[in-house]
Structure 1
Amino acid sequence: MTFKPLGKRVLLERIEEATTTATGIIIPDNAKEKPLSGIVRAISPKVEEKGLVKLGDKVVFGKYAGTELTLDGKVYLVMNLDDILGVL
């Protein structure tokens, strides 16, 4: 399924973080926080026109930013361009 964001929105795939610490301690699922970074998978024409974010960019966003969306069994985030804090 293809998804094309409208307005000034982007579609992001969250980057999952490691499940163990540097010392080898395993972090249980209920103690993990949701990642605050992701990879841009789709952008709207307005965002493409501005050229601030491109497909494949790794970005950082706010903790409560975006709306979760499930496509083909994968969870994505749809958010406004203004909610993206920066590109890594």
Structure 2
Amino acid sequence: MNIKPIGKRVLIKPVKEKERTKGGIYIPETAKEKRKQGIVVELGTIEEKEFPISKGDVILYTGYSSEELEVDGEKYLILDSKDIIAKIEE
């Protein structure tokens, strides 16, 4: 895959939410957490000192203005950097 976002956009791979609990109980859509997570795949022209994320980081984002695309059967999102609300550090 060779997709390079333009400007202050970020290409991410959404992290799929769990369908079941550890005990095997099914979680319906209405009960799932509303936060959205993704893994940064590619950055546009954002410099790290301007925006402290890099490839491979796990982020939280709002999903109202993202562009979905599918490449080789995998789903990706392109979002504006302003839609990234946090970086998850372990």
Is the TM value for this pair above 0.5? yes
Q: Partner of 1:18: helix, strand, or coil?
A: coil
Q: How many residues get paired?
A: 85
> Distance in 2 between the 1:73 and 1:18 partners?
20
Q: Is it true that 1:73 corresponds to 2:56 in the alignment?
A: no
Q: Which runs of 5+ in 1 are unaligned?
A: none
Judging by fraction of residues, say which structure has more helix: 1
Could you say what the CA RMSD is over the residues aligned between the two structures, in angstroms? 2.2
> Distance in 2 between the 1:10 and 1:71 partners?
16
| Distance apart, 1:39 and its partner CA | 0.2
Q: 8-17 vs 64-73, which deviates more? A: 64-73
Map 1:1-88 onto structure 2 (within 5 A): 1-27=1-27, 31=29, 36-44=36-44, 46-49=45-48, 50-88=50-88
Describe the superposition over 1:35-75 as per-residue Cα deviations: whole angstroms up to 9, x where unpaired. Answer: 6000000001x213534210000000014241111112111
> Distance in 1 between the 2:42 and 2:80 partners?
12
Q: Which runs of 5+ in 2 are unaligned?
A: none
Q: Partner of 2:47: helix, strand, or coil?
A: helix
> CA 1:39/1:62 → structure 2, altered by over 3 Å: closer, same or farther?
same
> Distance in 2 between the 1:83 and 1:62 partners?
5
